[in-house]
Structure 1
């Protein structure tokens, strides 16, 4: 048995990255794609060797031959089309962020409680790359001593005014686009939720979406900090400090496709290079989701985790707007 996937939209990330990775999955196959334009759907289907092309999302959801849906629509459409897919009995993998706000995410938590037979997960693909298993193992085995600090950087330059990320009503802004990774990885490593935070936020003067955010997060067992930006040179890095050593993850979210990922374990006087073999985290994510559906097993990450991530993102936005500490 293989899970039959339908793709909601011809979004750039889907047609240029995720679909090809899903087609390498051991446990799934992409059988249909939908667009609001039939010709666009047909072009994408031909290019990607997908059997069915639909001229509306609703048509795809009505197809009884589809088991699961990947939703890479603009952020403001994640909630309505995920709820619609669930109404049609489909499992859903939702591109990050799961929704635009924690209040919206709570609606999905409640929808999943009403339909426990359906699997719904936020697509934070980075968590499936083996380099993060390596990092978490190093920390759990005491390689750096007690974890005390996680600092994250994720930035790129986006000057396209037509991109939905430049439209507030579509869930635009750098905080939801790349800041969500920064918060997610800090929560992943500390294994707890932050108790309070403070943030600074710079808005784009034309679009009024956030384009540069820096934040300090207080966890019960340490401190997290990050900078994310959408009008800055590309960069990504996670620096993890313990009481005795530190870990540098050079490419935490978009690891190289043509060579091993590199982790540096830094001690006071020495450094150790750890190379993690190449892996496609999008394929691994699709496999993990498909296995959970096939076996009716728990997903590796729940919608409640996504809701908690969005609670932090909401608080960061509030702090950036009020210029005050926010308790969670």
Structure 2
């Protein structure tokens, strides 16, 4: 089949640096246009990335009948409005995470036409290291999985950065805490029943800069995570069962087109003596994501998740913020 033709909304760094090159690597996709509110910036990005068309407004690009799918990496408060606008223009939309400012915002996506695909861009769900982790949990290789522990941090205290602007959806839970939430849901293949959070906020910007949370999935299963926007960069995921532990060493920002290593450990020996490394072949998780979306546009496969999944993730985030205020467990 002909490749799915993509347009990119904005010249955001996540797009130009990672997602666009990933889409361009996908066999079933091609990037044909990029738009910015500044035409010169769109033209510059188009030249650097080899994109045929550049537009000086989002609306102009969305009016292009040649474009079938768009990628929306705008700031969080613009995710839902521009996604709705793109769907109204007849496009399918891959929208960056988190999909909205809260669950009520995200629920606006539930009334979209069934023939328009909308998916939240959690690229990790397409990386083979995460598929391997889920298979290990499913198969019983790890025994009964009861605990998932995650840590994700970076340092950014620039008040001008969109991640540090509270009114447009900034803060650590929205930016990176959403990944451990997805990790728990993906591995347990279930939804948390209640959550509790401890949050520290930046005194100047008001965004959450350090947050720890427990997600109770019932049946003695839990996901625990800490995320921070003002700590040394670190990321890890441990999936712990009654027989073995499975560790993803670079769970969220796996390098594009480079091999990564996952570890299993039955704890039979002290230290790392019982750790068994396993190499995962080089892959670009953004390309894998784009390939799946492009094939779904063509009707070759079904998307693994859609807007309802994104709404559920936002409901969990909402519950964490309620817990911050109540200092108690909150139902999802």
Q: CA distance change for structure 1 residues 212 and 43 in 2, over 3 Å: closer, same or farther?
A: same
Counterpart of 1:292 in structure 2 is 296
Unaligned runs of 5+ in 2: 269-273
Q: CA distance change for structure 1 residues 259 and 4 in 2, over 3 Å: closer, same or farther?
A: closer
Counterpart of 1:301 in structure 2 is 305
Confirm or deny: 8 A CA contact 1:201 1:321 kept in the other structure: no
SS at match of 1:161: coil
Which shifted more, 88-97 or 131-140? Answer: 131-140
Structure 1 residue 262: Cα displacement: 1.1
Aligned residues: 325
Counterpart of 2:271 in structure 1 is none
4+ residue runs over 6 A deviation: none
Unaligned runs of 5+ in 1: none
Confirm or deny: 8 A CA contact 2:266 2:275 kept in the other structure: yes
Pair 1:319 & 2:323 matched: yes
Which shifted more, 288-297 or 232-241? Answer: 288-297
TM-score scaled to structure 2, two decimals? 0.96
Q: CA distance change for structure 1 residues 84 and 153 in 2, over 3 Å: closer, same or farther?
A: same
Structure 1 residue 89: Cα displacement: 0.5
Pair 1:231 & 2:230 matched: yes
SS at match of 2:298: helix
Structure 1 residue 297: Cα displacement: 4.0
- Output the CA distance in 2 between the equivalents of 1:259 and 1:284: 14
Counterpart of 2:88 in structure 1 is 87
Query: What is the root-mean-square deviation of aligned Cα atoms in Å?
Result: 1.1
Alignment of 1:12-161 (within 5 A): 12-111=13-112, 115-161=113-159
Counterpart of 2:174 in structure 1 is 176
- Output the CA distance in 2 between the equivalents of 1:268 and 1:28: 44
Which shifted more, 83-92 or 268-277? Answer: 268-277
Pair 1:264 & 2:268 matched: no
> Deviation digits for residues 215-264 of structure 1, max 9, x if unmatched?
01111230110000000011111111111211111111111346421111
TM-score scaled to structure 1, two decimals? 0.97
The match for 1:202 among 179, 200, 216 is 200
Which shifted more, 76-85 or 39-48? Answer: 39-48
Structure 1 residue 322: Cα displacement: 2.1
Confirm or deny: 8 A CA contact 2:255 2:284 kept in the other structure: no
SS at match of 1:278: strand
Counterpart of 2:248 in structure 1 is 249
SS at match of 2:147: strand
- Output the CA distance in 2 between the equivalents of 1:239 and 1:197: 19
- Output the CA distance in 1 between the equivalents of 2:182 and 2:66: 34
